[in-house]
Amino acid sequence: MGVTTREFVTLLHGMLFGGFFLMALFGAFVLLLDWSNARQCELRASAPPPIPAWQKVYFAALVVCGWAAVLTGAYIIYPWYRAAVPAGADMVLYPKALLTANPNTAGWHSLGMEWKEHVAWIAPMAATMVAWVMTKHRAAWNESCQVRKAVMGFAAAALLAAAIAGGWGAMIDKAAPVEGGREIQLMRAAR
């Protein structure tokens, strides 16, 4: 049982960074909903409690996972995905060429990948802003309903962008997986 290096890096990108980012973003959105209670915010505004360390770590991990997902995607996996096919090469190792060669699968690239590769970047940008406000400017959050609504709106947009990118990424990788590279043995075959 094994995976190739390209499959392994794709796993890190999608399942570790992307998956954790999406889950953490959903968790952050639920936390924001809980913290947006106007009565509790009023109480916290008059006597602001210190921000717990776990919340700072949580938001930092959220931001790191988001940027790691888009950077590994754009600078490691995307070059493998879009590489030009040398004459006589196995098309399976060139997912973009494989998808666009057939009109029935071209949409995975022309709509899916073209959308995913750009919209994905909105998620870490918005998540960074949300994390920064929640760790550095909690007083403004507690004090203003407008701030709470605006920050939650951007958190929702980040979640939407991450879900679009993650969803298309998973489907494209099923249609034309990024493969190749050295084989990494995870487990020896049973005798």
Under rule CB under 8 A, residue 41 binds another protein: no
| 111 makes contact with another protein (CB under 8 A) | yes
Residue placing its CB nearer to another protein in the complex, 118 or 187: 118
Q: Which is nearer to another protein, 2 or 40 (CB)?
A: 40
Q: DSSP letters of the chain? A: -EEEHHHHHHHIIIIIIIHHHHHHHHHHHHHHHHHT-HHHHHHHHHSPPPPPHHHHHHHHHHHHHHHHHHHHIIIIIHHHHHPPPPTT--GGG-HHHHHHTSTTTHHIIIIIIHHHHHHTTHHHHHHHHHHHHHHH-HHHHHH-HHHHHHHHHHHHHHHHHHHHHHHHHHHHHHHS----S-EEESSPPP-
126 binds another protein (CB under 8 A): yes
Nearer to another protein among residue 24 and residue 113 (C-beta): 113
Q: Is 132 in the site for another protein (CB under 8 A)?
A: yes
Subset of 149-188 contacting another protein (CB under 8 A): 149-151, 153-154, 157, 160-161
Is the Cα dihedral 35, 157, 72, 179 positive or negative?
positive
Residue 26 vs 82, nearer CB to another protein: 82
Regarding 85 and contact with another protein (CB under 8 A), the answer is no
When asked if residue 50 is in the footprint of another protein (CB under 8 A), the reply is no
Q: Residues interacting with another protein, by CB under 8 A?
A: 70, 74-75, 78-79, 82-83, 110-111, 114-115, 117-119, 121-122, 125-126, 128-129, 132-133, 136-137, 139-141, 143-144, 146-147, 149-151, 153-154, 157, 160-161
